Amino acid sequence: MEYDNKKVPHAQIEAKWQQFWHDSKQDIVDIAHAKKPYFNLMMFPYPSAEGLHVGNMYAFTGADIFGRYMRMQGFDVFEPIGLDGFGIHSENFALKIGKHPKDHARLSEKNFYKQLHTIGAMFDWSRTVETYNPNYYRWTQWVFTKMFEQGLAYRGKAPVTWCGSCKTVLSDEQVVDGMCERCGNKVEKKLMEQWFFRITAYAGKLLDNLPKLKWSGKVKVAQEKWIGKSEGMLIAFKKYQDKGSIKVFTTRPDTLNAVTFLATSHEYDEGSTVKKGEFSGEYAVSPLDGRKIPIWKTNYVAPGYGTGIIMGVPAHDERDMDFARMYKLDVIKKDPDETLWKKIESEGWGEKHTNYHLRDWTISRQRYWGAPIPMIYCETCAKANKGGHNDMPGWWAVPEKDLPVLLPDIEDYKPRDDGVGPLAKHKEFYETTCPHCGAPARRETDVCDTFLDSSWYHLRYPSVGAKTAQSQPFDPEITKKWLPVPMYTGGAEHSVLHLMYARFVAMALHDMGHIDFDEPYTTFFAHGLVIKDGAKMSKSKGNVVTPDAYVKKFGADALRMYLMFMGPFSEGGDFRDTGMEGMYRFLGRVWRLVMASANHGLVDNDKEIHRQLQRAIQRATDDLPKHRYNTTIAGYMEFVNAAIDAGKMLGTDDVKDFIKLLAPFAPHMAEEVWFQLTVHGTAIPTDYRSIHTQPWPLYDKSLLVNSSIQFVVQVNGKIRETISVTPKQAIDQKGIEALAEKSEKMKKYLTTRPQKIIFISGKLINFVV
């Protein structure tokens, strides 16, 4: 290929190298034999119909740079990709455009993968995972059955959150400020029978493990808040009229002396600002002083929290005060008494108790596009009080040999208003026989929440394609070798959704003995958001920029670099066309600089440029692994500008090192330059060693210690001299003044005492005379 050396021939080199990487299986890691396995995972994307926007590319690029860097550090990096295409999000879109979700999925998968190819990430395309693939959801269903066997999946009637627009229940985590996370509709409460996962059984562990995780701080804080540990006491109040007692949960046992009523939960209304209630006709007795205490029914006590009954202390609790005022209940003004904690315990009135605000995970969806819940209900067994779990007569998990329960191909897949899913209209689906007694039985017709699909996918990835993949969800040997995930990159918006569920599922599988770790992601790095015109880039804001046109016009490398240069990767940045053009021009300069050397034959390193390069290497080696990509790139820019200003050709060895620094960011261009430097001729030899498998360059420390700064000396704002100083000297004003005064050139300017001296530390001194 002959290139125009003035401009980066990005379209040509992208096509050429993507093809080569694919053909040479460069990014396919040897899962079984890898010596230094490193699982570089980025959050499972759910493709929106419009395909990827620049915000999605941002996340993938940042994660890919890290993966490429680790590979150059000698790791066998596994960087998988796939898609989470089941679920309400995908289904809603299919409904909107009037397509069958299955057909829509097929199409969007194709587009999505095509788009993903353009950014030149080192994805292992031989091991993709799609959640709607029966080979995958078979094992999602397996996870469900395991949960059931352990008593961690149960059916229960509970007030659940219902989205009238999506026509399904949602989990607490999927409700944001009272709105459905998926469609933005206002949600309502309904009392319904649903499947739940007992995530609350792990509330303590989910909290206690947090300190040992290397996760972005804000995500840990969000999880901690969501779990909501609350330490208090359970206190028993004897009933006044009859035997028995009533237990309340309180965080303020020290206010027991000021209790004036008990309140039970009645027509609980989370959003209501008006407290309502009625007297139950019953009384309890205060264990402390034998006072008679009325029991009220109120709408402000949550049925699912604590014991669902509270002790009302108007003097110290605003909510209770509101209620007491409204119904003219007594108020006792007594100071809290800290010793009561001890007294309650020693007198046997109550005991210490810890509560969590975390609720169980509502897992069933009354929708079509998901993995059918693999459960069967048998009336005959129910009557005989038999079932797969003691607490649930009649219910059996589908045996492993019968998985997957295939999602049938139906035409009436639209969600219904009557609280049951579309599958409930299909006899041929739900009619089955009991796996236990063989009697006619009925399949569950709800499907799994899509967050179940993404709660364990990291376990599947390395095992895809293994001999055991047909018979096991994940290969035990492979899993031992590759997991837990040492680096996970994704959005902080999933702090209490996906990240919490994935942790819970790992804990449960660990306790069942399926895996030997209980945290799936050792490190989690939360990236920032791409802002466009002042708002987060998203479809709903209508400010989406698709990457395709930018890739075409400026090249994938320029887009990758620009995205990473917009701001710290942890913070995100403002996407601007002018910035994009600037990066394009920068890469053009780099191209001309390095190609000049590449085309020249062997060139010796220039001493000063070589020294500057050591600084750039040092900076990149410090900053890149910390995801500080913007400062890494800034270091490259300084180096390139210095080299161009010096007007010299880069030495051949320096070009090689610099190109290695650039490789994770601009993989195509770096590969082409490397090729030009290391290969004679235009054909890629069979034994070609890609730049992406070269070791990351080391820097020469000795050259950094002695590094000098060209300190500018001005007189009345005009440069009259530059003096070479050490970094330490450069920040010392008195020392610089002395050096400047000693300079031969400066003598004629400093004949009189300067009126003023302006000193810019590390850079410049200006004598005003």
List strand residue ranges (DSSP E) for 363-414, in order.
364-365, 375-377, 395-397
- Closest distance to ligand ANZ from the beta carbon of 232 (Å): 6
Q: Report the distance separating Cα 46 and Cα 82, nearest Å.
A: 9
List strand residue ranges (DSSP E) for 216-329, in order.
229-239, 245-250, 261-265, 277-285, 292-298, 309-312
Q: Which of 73, 111, 230, 652 binds ligand ANZ (CB under 6 A)?
A: 230
By C-alpha distance, which of 498, 421, 430, 429 is closest to 166?
A: 421
Rank residues 221 and 437 by Cβ distance to Zn ion and give the closer one.
Answer: 437
Strands 76-78 and 229-239: unpaired
155 binds, among Zn ion, ligand ANZ, none (CB under 5 to 8 A by kind): none
- Closest distance to ligand ANZ from the beta carbon of 323 (Å): 11
Rank residues 26 and 380 by Cβ distance to Zn ion and give the closer one.
Answer: 380
Rank residues 332 and 712 by Cβ distance to ligand ANZ and give the closer one.
Answer: 332
Q: Which of 118, 174, 250, 286 binds ligand ANZ (CB under 6 A)?
A: 250
Binding footprint of Zn ion, residue count (CB under 5 A): 7
φ/ψ of 272, rounded to 5, equals: -70, 140
- Closest distance to ligand ANZ from the beta carbon of 356 (Å): 9
Buried residues in 307-325 as b, exposed as e (16+ CB within 10 A): bbbbbbbbbbbebbbebbe
Residues 6 or more apart whose CB falls under 8 angstroms from that of 131 comprise 82, 83, 84, 85, 86, 87, 137, 140, 371, 450, 453, 454, 457
- Closest distance to Zn ion from the beta carbon of 443 (Å): 13
381 binds, among ligand ANZ, Zn ion, none (CB under 5 to 8 A by kind): Zn ion
Which residues within the stretch 17-76 sit at the binding site for ligand ANZ (CB under 6 A)? Answer: none
- Closest distance to ligand ANZ from the beta carbon of 316 (Å): 3
Rank residues 351 and 516 by Cβ distance to ligand ANZ and give the closer one.
Answer: 351
Residue type, 245: S
Q: Report the distance separating Cα 642 and Cα 30, nearest Å.
A: 42
Q: Report the distance separating Cα 132 and Cα 535, nearest Å.
A: 32
Which residues within the stretch 346-405 sit at the binding site for Zn ion (CB under 5 A)? Answer: 378, 380-381
- Eight-state DSSP code of residue 288: T
Binding mask 686-725 for ligand ANZ (x = CB under 6 A): ----------------------------------------
- Using DSSP, state whether 508 is helix, strand or coil: helix
Q: CB 338: neighbour CB atoms within 10 A?
A: 9
- Closest distance to ligand ANZ from the beta carbon of 133 (Å): 43
Q: Which of 39, 75, 148, 249 binds ligand ANZ (CB under 6 A)?
A: 249
255 binds, among Zn ion, ligand ANZ, none (CB under 5 to 8 A by kind): ligand ANZ
Sign of CA dihedral 425, 427, 429, 434: positive
In the structure encoding, which two tokens stand for residue 754, read together? 């300067």
250 binds, among Zn ion, ligand ANZ, none (CB under 5 to 8 A by kind): ligand ANZ
Rank residues 6 and 352 by Cβ distance to ligand ANZ and give the closer one.
Answer: 352
Rank residues 319 and 416 by Cβ distance to ligand ANZ and give the closer one.
Answer: 319
Q: Which of 3, 305, 327, 688 binds ligand ANZ (CB under 6 A)?
A: 305
Q: Which of 340, 407, 434, 487 binds Zn ion (CB under 5 A)?
A: 434
Q: Is residue 329 part of the contact set for ligand ANZ (CB under 6 A)?
A: no
Rank residues 12 and 230 by Cβ distance to ligand ANZ and give the closer one.
Answer: 230
Q: Which stretch binds ligand ANZ (CB under 6 A): 219-227, 312-320, 426-434, 501-509?
A: 312-320
Paired with 285 in beta bridges are 238, 292
Residue 605's alpha-carbon distances to 14, 316, 393, 565, 644, in angstroms, are 29, 77, 79, 28, 14
306 binds, among Zn ion, ligand ANZ, none (CB under 5 to 8 A by kind): ligand ANZ
Rank residues 235 and 666 by Cβ distance to ligand ANZ and give the closer one.
Answer: 235
Cis peptide before 440 (omega within 30 of 0): no
144 within 8 A of 197, measured Cβ to Cβ = no
378 binds, among ligand ANZ, Zn ion, none (CB under 5 to 8 A by kind): Zn ion
Q: CB 292: neighbour CB atoms within 10 A?
A: 9
Which residues within the stretch 435-474 sit at the binding site for Zn ion (CB under 5 A)? Answer: 436-437, 439
Paired with 74 in beta bridges are none
Which residues within the stretch 373-392 sit at the binding site for ligand ANZ (CB under 6 A)? Answer: none
Paired with 263 in beta bridges are 296, 310
Q: Which residues bind Zn ion (CB under 5 A)?
A: 378, 380-381, 434, 436-437, 439
Task: Name the site residues for ligand ANZ (rule: CB under 6 A).
Answer: 230, 249-252, 255, 301-302, 305-306, 308, 310-311, 313, 316-317, 355
